Structure 1
């Protein structure tokens, strides 16, 4: 496994571990689910920290490798558009009095953004992750509309589990021998 690939997998574990930690903190839940969410958040944070260690170690081996400016620029544009859509959408929903559905919108935006990121990051498995996140968002919307359960509970738990699982998978891939 080359240093650049190892670094990318470490970054995936770092970023998705952090975001999984954040998603696990979205739901307002009672015990025992609250306890499970705290444990999940802790595991996701540990995964992120281990991903950071992988990045630091890989950086030493990749010090002489040039970056890819075009890919970096595309990545930046995709993330900027994602953030703009999520923030503007959240403001619109809040303005309409539908704040409960902000996690649904954000989860859809995050899921959709993985599709154009897959070729940029050369990770085709980001597409099924994005689809799964969109399905979690849809599930949260349906549950919130059909029951007294908050959308954030379904979306935060589901998105946290998906992102943490993917982060852990990326971290495990770095443990394979070269």
Structure 2
């Protein structure tokens, strides 16, 4: 949740720029900052509740969180990210292609992690990011290339932040002893 939120905010911070209106870009960056701050606050609140024993039955992920499957997926992700960007550069693809590639690989990483973690809810951002990556890659071959960072970057960041907010809220609510 926290990692997804940080990367979501980074997606927005880095990509919310031209061709967007500068006011809209600033609003998106401020909104990403506020969302990230809320998620961090919820994360610390949940941790405090767990430490004080308010939630003895906190839900654990269904699979091994940092087990072999996770490590293999993260290794594949790193190879695909850095190797893919190197290949795109060698092919002379425009810089905008990189953000679309990153969105695609990060989305596929969530799709692959869903069965490993036995957490089907991460399929939603995974599929959305994958689609945004594919759309962005297609856009790099069109006159709409300037919008790729918005479609594959900002929209991916908003997706990650929204998913992290929803998951954080759900997790914090499950820790509430009155529920």
Do these two structures clear the TM 0.5 threshold for a shared fold by scoring above it? yes
Tell me what 2:153 maps to. 156
2:41 counterpart of 1:53: no
User: Does 2:83 align with 1:88?
Assistant: yes
- The C-alpha deviation readout for 1:124-156, integer Å capped at 9, x for no partner, is 011122111111112223334332424112211
Match of 1:105 in 2: 101
Figure out how many residues of one structure are paired with residues of the other and give that number: 165
After superposing on structure 2, the runs of 4+ consecutive aligned residues of structure 1 that deviate more than 4 Å are 65-71
Q: CA RMSD in A?
A: 2.7
Q: Does the Cα contact within 8 Å between 1:15 and 1:48 map onto a contact in 2?
A: no
In structure 2, the gaps of 5 or more residues are: none
Asked if residue 170 in structure 1 is aligned to residue 167 in structure 2, the reply is yes
TM-score normalised to structure 2 length:
0.78
**Residue 119 of structure 1, aligned match among 115, 123, 130:** 115
**Counterparts of 1:88 and 1:55 in 2: how far apart (Å)?**
37
Q: For structure 1, which runs of at least 5 residues remain unmatched after alignment?
A: 1-11
Which is helix-richer, 1 or 2? 1
Name the TM-score, length of structure 1 as normaliser.
0.78
Distance in 2 between residues matched to 1:51 and 1:139, nearest whole Å: 33
Give 1:69 deviation, angstroms: 9.2
Distance 2:96 2:159 in 1: 21
Equivalent residue for 1:44? 35
> Is the 8 Å Cα contact of residues 24 and 40 (structure 1) preserved in structure 2?
no
